[in-house]
Amino acid sequence: MKRFRVTEKSKREHTIVRPNSIMIPRRETYTVIDNGLQVSFPHSGSDAEEKLIRYLNKALSKIGFKEDSIQEIQSKPSKKNLKKFFVILTTVACARKLMDRHPRTFEGSRVNIQEAVVPPFEVPSVKRRESPISTPPVQTPSNPNYDVSQVFNGYVPQENYSQEIYSTETFPAESYPAENYAAESYTAESYPEVNSPVLISQSLQKMDLGQSPSPAMDSGIQ
């Protein structure tokens, strides 16, 4: 348990702990519990509190108080072979009389009893930095050739692509001679049935006479 040095800023205030109450440490103020005692007991086993109650009952009976004078027992941080307790009694008179006339030993070991003092809580100190943390600046191109927003839209200027990879090839007309791709000509003699003047004149005569065209004409002209 950390010891606090009494300074000019430290104060001492007295209080009485009532049943079912909570003692809260204060800042820069030592709180003295008038109806309480701090007992340093030379037993640290699991039965240390039970032995302490036997010791207190015997001590109270010698000074004229009953066993029900013990209001509460609180265990405090202790060392290996020494157990510390806060013993809260029902009256201030009982606490003062027990501190003055308590037995000095128990089962051959020394018992120390003193006033119960709650030290102030320690305010954690905040270490200030000598210099604020500097954030490195963001490096940007000194002469960008496109807008930054275009990158998020998936647009990259065409000039960023290498001309060697994406070059446009030219194919001159001399590479494709005309004799390799000659156009076929289709004359009127290739279709005698359609372009024959005799068939056309005969079909016109049949139309004038009210006759239906021949089956050959139906399959050729629609």
Confidence of residue 76 (pLDDT cuts 50, 70, 90): confident
**Closest-CA residue to 61 (of 74, 72, 70):** 70
67 against 199, higher pLDDT? 67
* CA angle, residues 19, 23, 24, in degrees to nearest 5: 155
- Which residues of 2-138 form beta strands (DSSP E)? 11-15, 29-41, 70-76, 83-89, 105-106, 109-110, 112-118
The model's pTM: 0.51
Helix (H/G/I), strand (E/B), else coil: 6? coil
- Tell me which of 2-6, 46-50, 89-93, 187-191 is least confident: 2-6
* CA angle, residues 175, 177, 182, in degrees to nearest 5: 145
Tell me what pLDDT residue 164 has: 54
Alpha-helical regions (H) of 63-117: 92-101
109 against 78, higher pLDDT? 109
| Percent of residues, the chain, with pLDDT higher than 90 | 34
CA distances 16 to 11, 85, 95, 113, Å, are 17, 17, 11, 18
Domains of the chain: 11-118 (3.30.70.330)
Half-sphere exposure of 22 (CA within 13 A, CB side): 3
Tell me what pLDDT residue 21 has: 83
